[in-house]
Amino acid sequence: MRLITLLAGRYVAGDTLRDELRAVRRLNLRGMAATCDFLGENVLKKGRAEKATRSYIRILESLHLHHSDANISVKLSQLGLDIDESFCKKNMEQILARARELNNFVWLDMESSAYTDRAISMYKFFAHNYKKHLGICIQAYLRRSESDIKGLISLHPNIRLVKGAYKESSQLSFPQKKDVDDNYRHLAKLLLTSGPGLIALATHDERIVHDLIGWMKKNKIHANRVEFQMLYGIRKDLQQKLAKAGYKVRIYTPFGRQWFPYFYRRLRERKENLFFALKSLFHR
SS3 16: coil
Distance from the Cα of residue 281 to its chain's centroid: 28
Stretch binding ligand FDA (CB under 6 A), from 43-51, 124-132, 228-236, 254-262: 228-236
Q: What are the Cα distances from residue 244, in Å, to 52, 70, 129, 166?
A: 35, 18, 35, 32
Are the CB atoms for 110 and 138 separated by under 8 Å? yes
Q: Which is nearer to ligand FDA, 73 or 101 (CB)?
A: 73
Taking the C-alpha atoms of residue 24 and residue 72, their distance in angstroms, rounded to an integer, is 11
SS3 18: helix
| Residue type at position 21 | L
- Of residues 56, 79, 149, 163, which one binds ligand FDA by CB under 6 A? 163
Q: CB of residue 250 vs ligand FDA: minimum separation in angstroms?
A: 7
Q: CB of residue 231 vs ligand FDA: minimum separation in angstroms?
A: 5
Residue 273 makes contact with ligand FDA by CB under 6 A: yes
Would residue 19 be called left, alpha or beta, if left means φ above 0 and alpha means ψ between -120 and 50 degrees? alpha
Distance from the Cα of residue 248 to its chain's centroid: 15
For the segment 68-127, give every residue that binds ligand FDA (CB under 6 A).
Answer: 109-110
- Of residues 126, 130, 247, 252, which one binds ligand FDA by CB under 6 A? 252
Residue 164 makes contact with ligand FDA by CB under 6 A: yes
Residue 229 makes contact with ligand FDA by CB under 6 A: yes
The answer to whether residue 109 is catalytic is yes
The answer to whether residue 205 is catalytic is no
| Residues catalogued as catalytic | 109, 160
Interface residues with ligand FDA (CB under 6 A) are 109-110, 137, 139, 162-166, 202-205, 229-231, 234-235, 252, 266, 269-270, 273
